Amino acid sequence: MRTRKHIRSLGKTFTYLKDPDFRKQEVGDVLLAVDDAEFSGERFDGMTWRNVVFRNCSFIGAYDIGPRAMENVVFQDCSFAGILSYGVTNNVQFLRCRWTGAPVMFAEKESKNTRFESCAFEGTSPDRNQQGTVGSSGEVSFINCKAKWINWAGDAGLTIVECECDDVSVHTDSAANSGDDSLSSAVLIERSKLRGTFNLAAADLQSLTIRDTVLDNLELTNATIKGDVLMERVRGGSVNGWIRGAPRVTLRASQFTPSPGFEFAFELVSADTQHALIDSVQISGGTKPINFGFGALGSDARKVAPKLNRSFTIVNSRMGRVDASYLNSAEVRLERNTFDHLDLSNSRIAKLELTGNTIARSVDFTNTQAKESKLQRLAKGQAKLEGSNIKAD
């Protein structure tokens, strides 16, 4: 690494960063290049940086760096540590940069087109209470980055593409922070590897889309999702999704098996979900049932309010023990699947269709009421019908 000089020793470059209006008077909007500089012990506060490229610079300190805004700014091969602010960003890129320790660094609300590309984030502790947070209170993208023991922030929008994450948490705005005006981030994850636990617990999201991604443990417990959830071509271990909201949930062309060090569980539960589609999904292993609870009637244990789900569909899938009890649904269709055991007990269903499935053990309809049902032929004694109005041949 090249030797860095303190920013105060760089003459006009230092002056131009301190006083952007003076810079504009002297040289206009010509690009300002800042090379091999150390930013520490000198405050940069309240100004706007435009058309600047920082190369091989280090930024260190607590509240020392706090521009009001940055526009058309690039950081190349820079390092960051401490508590810093980027201001309101517009078209700002961090390329091959590094964050270490427990940094706290945010772009402010209304920031857009902020990109972290080929960057590295290395925390010091697996304890989430001791980890730093890097990102934006606006929109942000992480592309081809590597991260361990860190929080990534994207309050208005968060895109993660071709990244490798190891025990990473996601911070989004929340009603607890901002009341009814919380931003509820739209989160998109594509072509990434999420090792350990990728933590979205209790997050407030606008939507969640995960495609072509490998994960160990996706934690969504108590997340609130205003829009849709889509997981497509995902491979991994466990998904804990005791979520609120999510009017449409789609899980397609995915495979889930136990991961070393994790007890396998698959839970996607939301009484607010109107439409749920599970298509071409394989789930196997572990000691817990696969839990789907869309439109749940509610029970004392789950404390879920009764809400009506419009449709719940599983097709072309292979699963072990499936718990889809306490459904309250207008339409339930299970077609061309392979199950070990299927639990549809204690449900209220307007139209039930169970056709073309292979079921190794039993189907539990205990206390389930269906206004209309179409059932495939089941083996003698395979259906548990106590307290149910469903007729099995």
* Residue 117, domain member (yes or no): yes
φ, ψ of residue 229 in degrees (nearest 5) = -115, 125
pLDDT at 268: 87
pLDDT at 270: 87
180-221 per-position pLDDT tens digit: 666 778 999 999 999 999 999 888 899 999 999 999 999 998
267-312 per-position pLDDT tens digit: 888 888 999 999 999 998 777 788 898 876 655 555 555 678 999 9
Count of domains observed in the chain: 1
- Exposure on the CB side of residue 210, measured as CA atoms within 13 A: 24
For 4, which DSSP code?
P
Rounded-to-integer distance, Cα 327 and Cα 392, Å? 19
Rounded-to-integer distance, Cα 157 and Cα 152, Å? 11
Domain residues for the domain of 281 are 43-384
* Residue 13, domain member (yes or no): no
**Residues in the chain with pLDDT < 70?**
1-2, 174-182, 259-264, 296-306, 393
* Residue 27, domain member (yes or no): no
Assigned token pair, 141: 């993208």
pLDDT at 393: 67
Assigned token pair, 58: 């280090």
* Residue 359, domain member (yes or no): yes
Q: What does pTM read for this prediction? A: 0.92
* Residue 392, domain member (yes or no): no
pLDDT at 15: 96
